[in-house]
Amino acid sequence: MTGPESEGSQVRRAVCPGSFDPITNGHLDIIARASRLYDEVYVAVMINKSKKGLFEIDERIELIRTVTADYGNVRVEAFHGLLVDFCKQRDIPAIVKGLRAVSDFDYELQMAQMNNGLSGVETLFVPTNPTYSFLSSSLVKEVAQWGGDIAHLVPPAVLEALNKRLGKD
Ligand code: PNS
C-alpha cells in the first residue's frame, strides 16, 4: 500500500539521549512532551567509560523507568558508541533535544548537523520550560552535595536516591 494510509500505519519513534546522571525535572519535561508527540520514545542513556558518574548506568536507567512509568510509551536503554547507530538499529528517525538557552545552541547545532550528515536522522529542538532553563544534572548534584534544597528540581525518587548516595538521609 502507498500513500497516506500506509504512512499513517507506521510507528513514529523518537529518541531522547543523554547522560541522565541523574534525570532532572528538566529532562522529564522534554521526555513527557516527546511522549505526547510520538508513538514510541526511547530514552537512550549514554555509557561513557572515561567519565565516572555519581550513579551507575543501571541505577540511572532504573530511576528513569520509575519516573516515566506512567507515560506508557517510553522505553529506556543504555547505549555506547554513536547515537546514529542506536537510531539505525531501532528504526528511529528523530532525536528530540531540549534547548535551555542560546548557549546550548552552538554545540547542539553541530551535533544535529553531524548526525544528519552521518545518517539522515533529524534533530528536533524543544524549548525548555523556563522553570527549568537553568537546570542541569551537574548543578543539582553540586547543590545537593552542599545541603541545598533541590526537592523542586528532581522527581521524588531521584531526590531519595541522591540523598542516599550523598549520605544526606
Ligand atoms: O546529557 P549529555 O551528556 O549532554 O548528552 C550528550 C549526548 C549523549 C546526547 C551526546 O554526547 C551523544 O549523542 N553522544 C553519543 C556519541 C555520538 O553519537 N557522538 C557524535 C555526536 S555528533
pLDDT in tens, 112-167: 999 999 999 999 999 999 999 999 999 999 999 999 999 999 999 999 999 999 99
Residue ID of nearest Cα to ligand 1 atom 16:
82
Against a cut of 0.85, is the pTM above it?
yes
* Adjacent-strand bridge partners of 110: none
Residue with CA at minimum distance from ligand 1 atom 5: 18
Q: Is 3 a residue whose pLDDT tops 70? A: no
Nearest atom within ligand 1 for CA of residue 83: 18
46: Cβ below 6 Å to ligand 1?
Answer: yes
* CATH code for residues 10-165: 3.40.50.620
The residues near 127 (Cβ < 8 Å, ≥ 6 apart) are 98, 99
Report the distance separating Cα 50 and Cα 156, nearest Å.
29
User: Which sequence positions are flagged as catalytic?
Assistant: 27, 51, 100, 137
Q: Residue 14: CB within 6 Å of ligand 1?
A: no
Give per-residue pLDDT as tens, 13-37: 999 999 999 999 999 999 999 999 9
